Amino acid sequence: MTRFLLLLALVPLAWPPHAGAQVAGARTIEIQVGDNMRFTPARIDARPGEQLHVVLKDTGTMPKVAMAHNFVLLKKGADPKAFAEKSAAARDTDYVAPAVKAQVLAATKLVGPGETADVTFAAPAQGGDYTFICSFPGHFVVGMRGSLVVSARDLAREP
């Protein structure tokens, strides 16, 4: 009986899983961002429909108000430059403008130095290159972007 009560007491500690924890069934990809305004790595390879858990980790030191980052994955056909331009003024909605929000496949919240944010999503079913950007003002323009490369050909490499 004592052992049973002890188990019950431990359950709330383990559930729910905290943010940033491994999400069941999803592959975790950690992307570092920082004062250099780059995604490291800037390329993610995935299979169509694969569950991905992107963890964005800010290793920078500049104040968040001047240097914050997010991960915004766009639909195929979306214009990343136009998206970034329209979102640059959307401070109240974490620099994702409501007018272009429909172009987003997945996005994290903004991170500042030492912070981590994550998002879990399914890779698109259609193969191809999907652009992800940081929509904090000025970052896309200086090259803060990357690609999610979706290809079924990766299956051939699996045992």
Interface ranges with Cu ion (CB under 5 A): 69, 134, 136, 139, 144
Minimal distance, residue 83 CB to Cu ion, in Å: 14
Minimal distance, residue 25 CB to Cu ion, in Å: 29
Minimal distance, residue 75 CB to Cu ion, in Å: 20
Straight-line distance from the first to the last Cα atom of the chain, in angstroms, rounded to the nearest whole number: 47
- Nearer to Cu ion by Cβ, of 80 and 127: the residue is 80
Beta bridge partners of 27: 52
Instruction: Select the residue whose beta carbon is closest to Cu ion and give its number.
Output: 134
Minimal distance, residue 134 CB to Cu ion, in Å: 3
The DSSP letter of residue 41 is: S
Nearest to 133 by CA among 57, 49, 71: 71
- Nearer to Cu ion by Cβ, of 44 and 144: the residue is 144
- Nearer to Cu ion by Cβ, of 53 and 69: the residue is 69
3-state SS class at 127: coil
| Residue located via tokens 């909605």 | 93
CA distance 17 to 72: 24
- Nearer to Cu ion by Cβ, of 69 and 124: the residue is 69
